[in-house]
Structure 1
Amino acid sequence: MRIIRTIPELRAAVAEARTTGASVGLVPTMGAFHEGHLTLMREARKSNGLVVVSLFVNPTQFGANEDLGSYPRDEQRDAAMAEAEGVDIVFAPDASEIYPDGFATSIHVAGVTDVLDGASRGAHHFDGVATVVTKLFGIVQPDVAYFGQKDAQQVLVVRRLVRDLNLDVRIEACPIVREADGLAMSSRNVYLDADARAQATALNRGLDAASALAESGERDGATLVAAARRVLDEAGIRPDYLELRDNDDLSEVTRLDGEALLAVAARVGAARLIDNHVLKGGA
């Protein structure tokens, strides 16, 4: 496995691999790997001749009062984990490589960024995500890019970006990977002390309660959201948001007739965590 830090060197490595007819899979990450990241790498390895994992804590998607400075970083550990999964290249650039002096371009995806994390964290968040993903797609030119369903809104933003800009890359969303107690795996889970760690399990338990109600035939959106909120209230969690949204355009869902995304974000202890379930209505 190679660790590459510059765009010209990465492009040369990808071009060399393409001379053999290899397809290219990209796993964009901010590091601090856990089983969720490793699952994406395994999926990429199954289907591609060259697997590139980007390792870059993207400063433009963090707000002034967010955890950019404290975000967990351990490149040596991450590189060893990626190598064990058969990754060919870890692209670990400095911020100045991605955003050189004078950088003045930003990508904004309207609509799907206006709600949930876009409303809670601010417009800068998904502008930062869209810009860095567009740059990574331009640098690597992957055939397929792999994202985790835990970041469901991010997946929808990237899909819209690819569609609107006619980018020649297929987006694969892989299922959420959870701990044995149901907590969605996240790099930010390391912020949780024992009490907060136990409290955080209420996020998935709340979503489970709404999912069970939907499976029993309940279709009223407010009733489904209320079922999840009761579990959060019992655990003393006050969410940033808990909303039922269309699973394609994130418009508000008042009645569950098709697929809808029940999404939650909440600060638990020192961590801001997100989670979601896809609820299915209809016959």
Structure 2
Amino acid sequence: MGLGRIAVALASAAATGAVEGATQRLTKEQREPFERVNHRGEPVTLLEGPIAVLGALSGVAGDTATHPRVRAAALLAGSVSGAVGAYDDLLGTTQAKGFKGHLSALRRGEVTSGAIKILGVGVAALGAAALLPRKTTGVARVVDVVADTALIAGTANLTNLLDLRPGRALKAVTLLSAPAVLAKGPAAAVAGAAVAVAPADLDERSMLGDCGANGLGAMAGTALASALPRPLRLLALAGVIALNAASEKVSFTKVIAGNPTLDRIDQWGRRPR
């Protein structure tokens, strides 16, 4: 990673730490809406999500070496996806689950918080994809915008699907950002924020929630869309679509637990089972 990318990552991590320090001054009543119970039945806070997203957004905003349109795309994708994720965290219900569940509810005339989130993430992804600078024109440009919209939205959703065990979503979003870290773009800021909140997440004191997972995932998707050549973007899109589709049929947690290599990676840094 070049010195510029390191500086952006450190700035993002520092901003994340500053926000986390500020949230520690919240009263118990102010923290209560963000309290949840994790897979062990222990209390955790969802404040990690807004903290990570704000830290990453700060890193992106301050990265003057990156093309202004790329920065604008990442800021749009991260802020809107994080906001609708926060809405689902705080006001959402569990009457429908998964993409298919929310679409089925819509067909019955029920507008779920998850459906609002899907729409918000999709619109943000489309706006971000349209903002990205391109050399293509005409039909080729339209195809690129559609593909990048799917990549950004799909990455946001995939990151959220992985936020079921400590550190899993953060490892995924860092891995997804890795191919784009060396390029000028938002990947370094996303990685910096993810690393900054990882200790609390792995120690099971906090979790990303929909706000953090959707926000960081959308920015990671934007990083891929802005940095990868078309063949690699399409390859990444195919993988993201396949994993999102698989989540409707299988449990990622069971698949990971049943594979020694994936399970070993999943356990890195976590408390003993």
Tell me the TM-score normalised to structure 1 length: 0.28
Structure number with the higher strand fraction is: 1
Looking at both structures, which has the greater relative contact order when contacts are Cα pairs under 8 Å and sequence separation is at least 6? Answer: 2
Structure of larger gyration radius: 1
Structure number with the higher helix fraction is: 2
